[in-house]
Chain A
Amino acid sequence: MSQLAIELPGLMLKNPIMPASGCFGFGQEYSKFYDLSQLGAIIIKAATEQARFGNPTPRVAETTAGMLNAIGLQNPGVEKIITEELPRLANYNVPVIANVAGSTIEEYEAVTEALSKSNDIAAIELNISCPNVKQGGVQFGTDPALAAEVTRRVKAMSNVPVYVKLSPNVTNIVMIAKAVEDAGADGLTMINTLTGMQINLNTRRPVLANTIGGLSGPAIKPLAIRMIYQVRQEVSIPIIGMGGISTAEDVLEFLLAGASAVAIGTANFLNPFVCPEVITALPHVLEKYGFASVADAIGKGHEDAKLHLSRT
């Protein structure tokens, strides 16, 4: 196994770097900047059963070292994604993770069922944590019983491994993580955005048309690290970490906290080449801090922890 390769349920990753859902569309725009086969995997934009237009604009606002977004799950619907987007991605040597969203458990099931007929996806990211839609999404991610229920039902429908994307907008994320692990999740992705808001001083009105949005970017990285560290101590399934990553040093910090791979989101907007640049830089950073491989670094931030460390 090479220095950067890592194997997770359903995913043979040549490196642990993948663009995060919603920050990379369906890959076509960034394929003009570099060969997508360089990536460890791609998490595509959320799919719902029917096409969604999403929220009114403005949908984004910059904050200090971060940004707010309230796109509202705009997507062409799962069937169009399967027939138009997935075949284009099949031209690249890269596993595709489909992000499944919905307003009801039945919608999550329907999207999963449709995707299960496609041979073009390697895993599902179950989006129970989108803060930007009025119904569904985040409510499934903030109630352990609901989170477990939707995980169980989607697992039953899916013929690929299911990674559940956790919301940070909870009091106790470990409780949710345990609930979805017990419900059969193959892995976790964390964290989704934090709900936030910005008010324009001149207009005295929220900048986002949706009033609130999801905060992402370097501003949330310490929160993501803390949550992954806590969840790693209590849960055995692998974690794909995300939240403000923009450098190979950030990646190592997530590995130390207990992530087995990472997703890069907001940083793609600033630097379209951030993913390949981080992949190139990662071997040097691993060596600099004394690790032979990605696998060697996973969970190593826990060695002095007093609490028991679960296997990774």
Chain B
Amino acid sequence: MTSRKYDVVIVGSGASGGAVAYTLCKAGYKVAVLEKGRLIKRDEFSKDELAYARRDIVTPNLFEEYHTIEEKVEGKWVATPTYDSGWSFWNGNIVGGSSNLMSGMLHRMHPDDFRLKSKYGEIKGANIVDWPISYEEMEPYYALAEELVGITGKYEKHLYEPPRSTPDFPQPPTKENVVVKLIDKSCKALDIVPLVTPRAVLSQDKGHRNACYYSNFCGSYGCSSGAKGSSREALLKPALATGNLTLMSNTYVKYLHAGKKDEVEYAVVVDTVTGKEQKISAKIFVVAAQAHESARLLLNSSNKHHPHGLANSSGELGKNLIFSAGGSGQGELHKESLKHIKFEDLMTTGLFVNRSILDWYFIDHWWDGTFKGGSVEFMFEHQNIISRANKNNEEDGKLVWGKALGERLVERFIQSKSIRFEIFNDWLPNDDCFVSLDETHKDKYGMPVGKLRVEAHPQDGKVGKYIAKKCEKVLEEMGAKNIYSSISSAPPQNLVAGGCRFGDDPKTSVLNKYCQSHDVSNLFVADASFMPTGGSVPYTWTIYANAFRVGDHIVEQLSKG
């Protein structure tokens, strides 16, 4: 065993870990980032569908590292290991984490998302609370993330567009497919206001990062120009350039050791290549391993001082895990029935569909009622060729094969293009959505795996269906065919938060308003775990912003000695 001393050790190199590392390194502090996965550099990424989208190459092999997922079956909770179901809850275990693989459609949360309980009151069966901070406190960090991560877009005033401290985005939107004209026209006809989607993809060069080259394969893949605002490109590279960052890839953290009641002394880590174990000590520890894994790490760090897990005097650790509720829908734009735009322009590849709808973020309708709604993103169906082909090989429950399959695929690929919408609404925190430690299952490092109970609140589906009907009308107006939508209570495993709620009361929350443990003063949790409610937008911008805020607080604390 060896020991090295850092000012701060950060567990995880994704969006939040990168933002904290950047802030601390720029302020002159010595930081170690521990990342379980390997480093894949910009010039090593490719658009290899088989490797990135169809195999567990950038996530752990499920037979070695997995979760157990608890679902209610005939009234009883049944836990199934993910190696048995194939339902992976890992997201991009490489340096930079899942921010390497995101599509980058981002929104700020609305000011009312910070005070959901005050605004809408309680909902039976849901554990809604107000945040201990306001939008105004987060706003400067949303602006900072916009600049540093490189979020591009075009500000348009809208009832539900949060206020900004800067007039517009630092760069204009990425180039758009002509389909946006059809979306805009159709929305206008339905009295809906389409907005340009802010996107964490550069439209122009920025420092060491080059502008988007419109590869047609953005989400699920690493970026080969540096345009995508991943933690690796936007934050870890500049942090490394300060000389203050030690980036330790292939480093799995087994647990944090708190020899004293109120202080973490070191992390016990394993080199995933050599199997060698060592202790890494620091003044401050920041956990940023993605929501359910951060809670798992703290639960696995229990000892005589913390018998129920580190930072868990409240008993709230792992509770109120949230995902993003909603679902998606799709329709086909066919060559022979396309209106207003040219088919060959529609088929131009690589350009973005930067359109969102916020009109239904809050519903206040004489007939429908008053309730929290959600946001909508439009996009083309993912351009992965194997998955698109494989989706079109069935009819009436039977496989289509032979020449009929050839006819069908060529028609589908060459004569039409699918347009999609995705709905994001609040996954209401509830008593049946949490992470704990599995009593029997352990990963290949001998540590208990996370057991996730993933029940959704019934309100989530009602809101999703309400919005899906409206989105289907947009697709109808666009002239799309074979329209369908699917609102599911199944959790999207790439949109996860909660489990280490922040709050002012140590009895009901794990972290204080700076995402610092109420119990252990040199322990912070910087990822989406802190979120008591999730808003109705993808979490990434808020994760970046909050981690910059946490980083600033740690700098302040360190500067005071």
Query: A and B from one assembly?
Result: no
By a beta-carbon cutoff of 8 Å, the part of chain A in contact with chain B is none
